[in-house]
Chains A and B, each alone.
Chain A
Amino acid sequence: MIEVENLTKHYGPRRAINNLSFQIAQGEVVGFLGPNGAGKSTTLNILSCILPASSGTARIMGHDTFEHSLEIRKKIGYLPETPPLYQDMNVRDYLKFAAQVRGVSGKQITSAVERVIGKCSLADVSHRIIGRLSKGYQQRVGLAQAMVHDPDILILDEPTVGLDPIQIIEIRKLIQELAASHTIILSSHILPEITQICQRVIIINEGEIAAVDSLEGLTASLRKSERLSLTLRNSGDQVEEKLKSLQQVLSVLPEENNRFLLECELNSNLQDEIARLALDNKWGLVEIKPLSMTLEDIFLKLTIEEKDVTV
């Protein structure tokens, strides 16, 4: 449904994105993950036909986003990072205007507006001035604006930024509901959000794609080893060497307060042997704890320390 090939965008001398290529199939919910300034918004702007790319192509449903942008714009709903709300209009009038400019035909405007008011739970505030609504409601109006013309694709740029936790949960729920019937691309620099909503993640860093995979795939591909944390009361010189002498231990990294980070082969279950070693040598075992790799680690690893995989 969406095909992006070698997409590059320069702002003057600054390169915002470089050679991005990815595909998104119909019905997928894809998350763009990356630190601030990674090029997420730029990519989404190009997909929503607001910016032309410097080179490369982005095609949506077979149409080029630049050549046939009017065709595509009918089929996408876009929520920028700052929702494009006219502060002096009331919610219903605003959504009516959005429906008109987004190409909903005259007779269907009222029903389209009612539909999104219902979907985004805006009925209580539909006669209020947008500028006086809370940030959470404004964000919902922003979402409503993006889907008023019932687009096939929703492009949401940081839909939960600046909201309080309850509002975040509400917006997420709403997006999850929409996921059933739409292709959704959303960007975020918040990991849990992506893990909860998206089926696939595109991690983008400094304008380049660091990884494209499903969440399980990402976790699996990066878990080439298991990590254990070992804490001891006493410590001797030979702790490191004795630990290293165990088969399946790949590396030992001493840390502060007699704490050691062990990297072992997958599924090696070394806890027993390490415990025995500690007892035999009277190290004074305090704790052995497996460290799982969170998405947070994956994110950091991919975006910051990609080359240095042995953390």
Chain B
Amino acid sequence: MRNAWVIAKRDLGSFFNSPIFYVVTTVFLVIYSFIFFQILNFFSFQSLQAGQAQAMGMSLNLNEMVIEPSLQNMSVILLLIIPIITMRSFADEKKMKTFRLLLSSPIHLKEIILGKFLACMGVVTLMILISSYSVGFLFLLGEPEVGPIVTGYLGVILMAGCFVSAGIFASSLTDNQIIASVLTFGFSLFMWIIGWGAQAAGPVTGQILQYLSIVDHLDHFLKGLVETSDLVYYLSFMLFSLFLCHRVLDSNRWR
């Protein structure tokens, strides 16, 4: 565990030393902020109308009408941006031949993978936390409910964890960062839209596809619900991806 932290720390240092982190974070914040203020603008327009027609006032809610769609949009931006963050993890180590330092050191492969995962998660979580200034802004304007905000952010971070673990796995497959990022994006997007097949499929298959869909599980969190099945889904998604990554790196040695 100490070794995983050593590796995570080095990777984090490398993130903060390289322009990639700053560019990606800036792009993320600009796009997110634009979307957030569009939603907020639409909300204030609606509440203005509601003020004129008293009956509509009941359904206006900052949590449902601003935070929930903002976080939904944020998860789309994360889908686009996380592959860029994870692509270096193993691909770069392999390309620059630095992986041999780790492989010839007395540390377990598990610790290396965990370290890489923690580093990327650290970066992504930091980005998400910076973006939460927007929620602080809402507390100045109104009184949003705290519960759903916390669970919403938890859900987004868990979902980001899935993208990150998929990205780490993709990065272990190749020494080419572009291939790693395209694979991550493709796989994450596929897991996102897999639920769309549910309507066409039979009842049982449909339910399975629905359960596999990465985005369906987020909805509960955004509504303020923390359900075991969603937690199990996200955690097992991450564990399984990291397990595959372990298998790939281990089997590389045998070839």
Partner of B13, one of A51, A71, A85, A89: A89
Partner of A101, one of B96, B105, B254, B255: B105
A50 and B103 form a contact (CB under 8 A): yes
Instruction: Say which one of A20-28, A92-100, A198-206, A269-277 lies at the interface with B.
Output: A92-100
Of B13, B104, B106, most A-chain CB atoms within 10 Å: B104
Q: Is the interface of A mostly helix, strand, loop or mixed?
A: loop
B107 and A101 form a contact (CB under 8 A): yes
Interface flag for A82 (CB, 8 Å) = yes
Instruction: Say which one of A73-81, A279-287, A301-309 lies at the interface with B.
Output: A73-81
B253 and A97 form a contact (CB under 8 A): no
Partner of A50, one of B3, B17, B104: B104
How far, in whole Å, are A88 and B103 apart by their CA atoms in the complex? Answer: 20
Q: Which residue of A lies closest to B108 (CB)?
A: A70
Complex contacts, B150 vs chain A, CB 8 Å: none
How far, in whole Å, are A199 and B8 apart by their CA atoms in the complex? Answer: 42
User: Closest approach, in angstroms, between the C-beta of A60 and any C-beta of chain B?
Assistant: 12
Interface flag for A103 (CB, 8 Å) = yes
Of A85, A89, A100, most B-chain CB atoms within 10 Å: A100
B106 and A103 form a contact (CB under 8 A): yes
Given that A50-B253, A80-B100, A86-B98 are known contacts, is A97 also in contact with B6, CB under 8 Å in the complex?
Answer: yes
B106 and A102 form a contact (CB under 8 A): yes
B100 and A101 form a contact (CB under 8 A): no
Interface flag for A84 (CB, 8 Å) = yes
Partner of B106, one of A50, A70, A86, A93: A70
Complex contacts, B10 vs chain A, CB 8 Å: 86, 89, 97
B253 and A52 form a contact (CB under 8 A): yes
A101 and B253 form a contact (CB under 8 A): no
Interface flag for B78 (CB, 8 Å) = no
User: Closest approach, in angstroms, between the C-beta of B20 and any C-beta of chain A?
Assistant: 11
B14 and A76 form a contact (CB under 8 A): no
Complex contacts, A70 vs chain B, CB 8 Å: 106, 108
Of A78, A85, A86, A97, most B-chain CB atoms within 10 Å: A86
User: Closest approach, in angstroms, between the C-beta of B73 and any C-beta of chain A?
Assistant: 33
B96 and A86 form a contact (CB under 8 A): yes
Complex contacts, B253 vs chain A, CB 8 Å: 50-52
How far, in whole Å, are A93 and B10 apart by their CA atoms in the complex? Answer: 9
Q: Which residue of A lies closest to B10 (CB)?
A: A97
Complex contacts, B104 vs chain A, CB 8 Å: 48-50, 73, 76, 78
How far, in whole Å, are A114 and B102 apart by their CA atoms in the complex? Answer: 21
Interface flag for B7 (CB, 8 Å) = yes
Interface flag for A183 (CB, 8 Å) = no
How far, in whole Å, are A51 and B104 apart by their CA atoms in the complex? Answer: 10
B14 and A84 form a contact (CB under 8 A): no
User: Closest approach, in angstroms, between the C-beta of A284 and any C-beta of chain B?
Assistant: 60
Q: Which residue of A lies closest to B252 (CB)?
A: A51
Partner of B100, one of A50, A87, A89: A50
Partner of A100, one of B6, B14, B17: B6
How far, in whole Å, are A235 and B3 apart by their CA atoms in the complex? Answer: 77
Given that A73-B104, A84-B100, A86-B96 are known contacts, is A101 also in contact with B17, CB under 8 Å in the complex?
Answer: no
Partner of B14, one of A74, A89, A101: A89
B254 and A52 form a contact (CB under 8 A): yes
A84 and B255 form a contact (CB under 8 A): no
Q: Which residue of B lies closest to A155 (CB)?
A: B104
How far, in whole Å, are A70 and B104 apart by their CA atoms in the complex? Answer: 9
How far, in whole Å, are A114 and B113 apart by their CA atoms in the complex? Answer: 29
Interface flag for A12 (CB, 8 Å) = yes
Complex contacts, A84 vs chain B, CB 8 Å: 96-101
A11 and B255 form a contact (CB under 8 A): yes
B18 and A88 form a contact (CB under 8 A): yes
B7 and A101 form a contact (CB under 8 A): yes
Report B139-151 CB contacts with A as 1/0, cut-off 8 Å.
0000000000000
A85 and B106 form a contact (CB under 8 A): no
How far, in whole Å, are A101 and B13 apart by their CA atoms in the complex? Answer: 16
User: Closest approach, in angstroms, between the C-beta of B252 and any C-beta of chain A?
Assistant: 10
From 1 to 33 in chain B, residues with beta carbon under 8 angstroms from any chain A beta carbon are 3, 6-7, 10, 13-14, 17-18
How far, in whole Å, are A71 and B108 apart by their CA atoms in the complex? Answer: 12
Q: List 5 A–B pairs whose Cβ atoms lie within 8 Å, in order of A's numbering.
A: A50-B253, A78-B100, A97-B6, A97-B10, A103-B107
Q: Lowest 8 CB-CB distances: which A-B pairs, in order?
A: A84-B101, A73-B106, A82-B97, A101-B105, A78-B104, A84-B98, A100-B6, A74-B106
Knowing that A80-B97, A103-B107 touch, tell me 6 more A-B residue pairs with CB under 8 angstroms.
A50-B100, A76-B104, A85-B96, A85-B98, A86-B14, A93-B13
Residues of A within 8 A of B (CB): 11-12, 48-52, 70-71, 73-74, 76, 78, 80, 82-89, 93, 97-98, 100-103, 145
